[in-house]
């Protein structure tokens, strides 16, 4: 039975929301270049991606061109893209606050990401903060992070995009310092203070926030106006809506009432089935 049926929302249905599919966690049973068409065949008009080349912040132009053509040929829109963040999923949780080589890789990636996003009309770029590392002073990491986030915000601004700052969860990412909504919003505020651009916003991932035990209705009421993008997965399990216990229908309705009218990114695991079968919670 679809999770979002007529009457489930106090004042609407799933059609009140615009969904995008994250092709870095869904349709991964397919080669990268086949995923945009698979999302289109499943009925979606928008996709988002983690940085698709985790080992290369500056892939060959031919690789960028091939992915661009695959997205264009599928007739879907790229609505969100991560900057280089290392191998995801995995122990890496971003690169911009890591001293040395990884930070340099992030810097090399900034204009590549912005250029690729601009070529497809993508207007939301996500910069994962990066883990704490034992050999670095946390204050020095924060200073490096701010420097690199300012660089990313300015690149995003040049293409008419927003910069997303995401909170993860302390269980799966114990060394990631932004593990709550207030921490991520504070970093976005600091970036805006330095740049004066106002384009750094909060990426509200309801799965990560729920794993932290946060009061999700309160987070929505407090930060919906600061939110540039929303992502969802059920908890426990990071599966499709309806596989866990999160009241996602109610939470998304609350977001809409709080003024958020952007995309909802589907960033969940399909489970032991093809990704194309992982959308039965939506009405057809």
d(CA 164, CA 257): 22
- What's 129's DSSP letter? B
d(CA 271, CA 78): 24
80's enclosing H/E stretch is strand 77-82
264's enclosing H/E stretch is strand 263-266
Q: Which of 48, 102, 214, 267 is catalytic?
A: 267
Q: For the chain, report the end-to-end CA distance as a whole number of angstroms.
A: 11
CA angle 31, 35, 36 (to 5 degrees): 145
List the beta bridge partners of residue 47: 21, 78
CB 40 within 8 A of CB 32: no
Query: Among residues 133, 90, 128, which one has the least CA distance to residue 205?
Result: 128
d(CA 12, CA 33): 35
Q: Which of 48, 102, 166, 214 is catalytic?
A: 166
Report the length, in residues, of the chain: 284
DSSP 64-113: HHHHHHHHHHHT-EEEEEEPP-SSTTTT--BSTTSTTHHHHHHHHHHHHH
Q: Is residue 267 among the annotated active site residues?
A: yes
User: Catalytic residue numbers?
Assistant: 166, 267
């Amino acid at each position: 039975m679809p999770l979002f049926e007529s009457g489930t929302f106090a004042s609407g249905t799933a059609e009140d929301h615009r969904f995008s599919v994250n092709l870095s966690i869904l349709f991964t049973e397919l080669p990268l270049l086949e995923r945009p068409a698979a999302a289109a065949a499943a009925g979606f008009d928008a996709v988002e991606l983690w940085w698709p080349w985790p080992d290369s912040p500056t892939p060959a132009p031919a690789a960028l061109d091939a992915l661009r053509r695959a997205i264009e040929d599928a007739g879907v829109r790229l609505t969100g893209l991560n900057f280089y963040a290392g191998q995801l999923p995995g122990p890496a949780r971003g690169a911009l606050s890591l001293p040395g080589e990884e930070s340099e890789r992030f810097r090399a990636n900034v204009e590549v990401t912005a250029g690729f996003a601009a070529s497809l009309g993508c207007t939301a770029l996500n910069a994962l903060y990066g883990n704490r590392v034992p050999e670095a002073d946390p204050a020095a990491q924060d200073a490096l992070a701010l420097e690199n986030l300012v660089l990313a915000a300015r690149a995003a601004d040049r293409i008419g995009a927003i910069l997303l700052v995401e909170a993860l969860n302390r269980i799966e990412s114990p060394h990631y310092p932004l593990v709550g909504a207030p921490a991520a919003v504070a970093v976005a505020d600091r970036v805006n203070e330095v740049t004066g651009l106002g384009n750094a916003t909060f990426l509200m991932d309801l799965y990560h926030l729920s794993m932290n035990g946060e009061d999700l209705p309160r987070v929505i009421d407090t930060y919906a106006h600061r939110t540039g993008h929303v992502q969802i997965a059920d908890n426990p399990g990071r599966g499709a809506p309806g596989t866990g216990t999160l009241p996602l229908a109610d939470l998304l309705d609350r977001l809409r009432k709080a003024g958020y009218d952007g995309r909802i990114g589907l960033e969940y695991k399909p489970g032991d089935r093809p990704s194309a079968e992982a959308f039965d919670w939506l009405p057809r």
